[in-house]
Amino acid sequence: MSLASPSLSLFVGLRYWRARKDTRFVSFITLFSVLGIALGVAALIIVSSVMNGLEGRLKGKILGAVPQLVIEAREGSLSRFDPLLSEDPRIRGAVPMLTSEAMVQRGRELGGVQLLGVEPEQEAPLSAVASHMLYGNLADLKAGEYQIILGSQLARHLNVLPGDRVRVMTAQGARYTPMGRVPPQRQFTVAGVFELGSDIDKGLALINLSDAQRLIRQKPDLRLYLHDAFDAPLLSQELAAKAKTQLGEELVLTDWRSQYGQLFSAVKMEKRMMSLLLGLIIAVAAFNIVSALVMMVTDKTADVAILKTLGLSRRQVMGVFSVQGMSSAALGTVVGLTVGLLLANHLQPVLSVLGIWLLPPGQPLPVIVDPVQVASVVGGALALSFLATLYPAWRASQVNPAEILRYE
């Protein structure tokens, strides 16, 4: 093999990496670094996948039931917004809706809710509530019959079942009487109960849109359902700009962040902090590569001097020790990737065998493996490991053959 061959550094580096019989301590440190990288990569993949799953569950069960993006109607028909919404692939559907803060009362028990007035036929194919009904269905909300659908936690708190009657008092549409300002209220019959498995179950109630208009005395707004609720902030800006250009009016838009922005910001912050903490495991393992390579450079100084006298360039010497360090990093990354993906895709069965339930019994741990996220973990581990090899490799390239070999 020619000394000028670019594969020479790869060949010598792999030989040094495999030949460890006379350097037991260096081999131990290298093994420790390989295991550290594998542990860090596997833990980061597993934890990030679980956090993605929990975030996805929250997104589906909370943001799938509450208004994701609302265009306030003000004056005029809702149909004037159709040109703004057509052909936008991010929008699943647009339905009329009225919303108000309200109190639901049964006897001495009270519960505060967000009251939604909806069109059952248009709402059913879009809302997460329709697919999580314990009793009844959205079609039971017939206009003029004053029916109401409650969340399971609220129904248990009020101790009501379908067919029972509750009193609804809203915060909007108050009437002025000789006795003062009186909030609108009316008796409703419980038509159904839904259960999403989140706080929505105690803070949401649905009635027919026409009943809501009679109760609140306001015009309905336009509620947008999105394929990804996290698109709402950017989409609202784009719609406001298009409305100013095409319709010549200022749109008033609200999205889910007004109610649940802090919750999802906390989840995102927790994901970042967990990634940072687990990334430190990979960083520590990468520094172990530095230690192992420094000792290897010291042990192989005479070999490096001989290779340089034979014509090996400084760049090739750096390549030899970079290959050696990256071999350990690649092995640890591949092991961590394999273990991480296997455990992430079979995490609930493994936890069940160990008798561990992180969620209430019967609720499987949600896991979403994001290929882009996995690729960034692998790429980050390899990049950090490569940076760790640069200093020891540079030290090796500075070896002076004349000083090292003069006593040989």
**pLDDT, tens only, 269-316:** 888 888 888 888 888 877 777 777 777 777 667 766 766 676 667 777
Q: What domain range includes position 284?
A: 7-59+263-405
Check residue 338 and give its pLDDT: 93
Q: In terms of DSSP bridges, do strands 185-194 and 133-135 run parallel, antiparallel, or are they unpaired?
A: antiparallel
Count of domains observed in the chain: 2
Categorize the per-residue pLDDT at 394 as very low, low, confident or very high, splitting at 50, 70 and 90: confident
Q: Is residue 39 part of a domain?
A: yes
Please report whether residue 359 resides in a domain: yes
Domain boundary among 219, 252, 287: 219
Looking at residue 61, the DSSP 8-state letter turns out to be: I
Last residue of one domain, picked from the residues 219, 254, 285 = 219
Q: Is residue 69 part of a domain?
A: no
Mean predicted confidence (pLDDT) in 48-74: 83
- Whether residue 311 lies inside any domain: the answer is yes
Does residue 229 form part of some domain? no
Q: Angle 9-12-14 (CA atoms, 0-180°, nearest 5)?
A: 100
**Could you tell me if residue 127 is inside a domain?**
yes
* Per-residue confidence (pLDDT) for residue 354, from 0 to 100: 74
In sequence order, the β-bridge partners of residue 104 are 111, 168
- Could you report the per-residue pLDDT of 124-173, keeping only the tens digit for each? 888 888 888 999 889 889 988 999 999 999 999 999 999 999 999 987 76
Position 16 in a domain: yes
Give the span between the Cα atoms of 27 and 400, in whole angstroms. 26
Does one domain contain both 53 and 144?
Answer: no
Q: State pLDDT tens for residues 101-116.
A: 899 999 888 898 999 9
Asked whether residue 310 is domain-assigned, the answer is yes
State residue 2's pLDDT score.
46
Round the CA-based radius of gyration of the chain to a whole number and report it: 32
Pairing between β-strand 221-226 and β-strand 175-177 as defined by DSSP bridges:
unpaired
Check whether residue 272 and residue 369 sit in a common domain.
Answer: yes
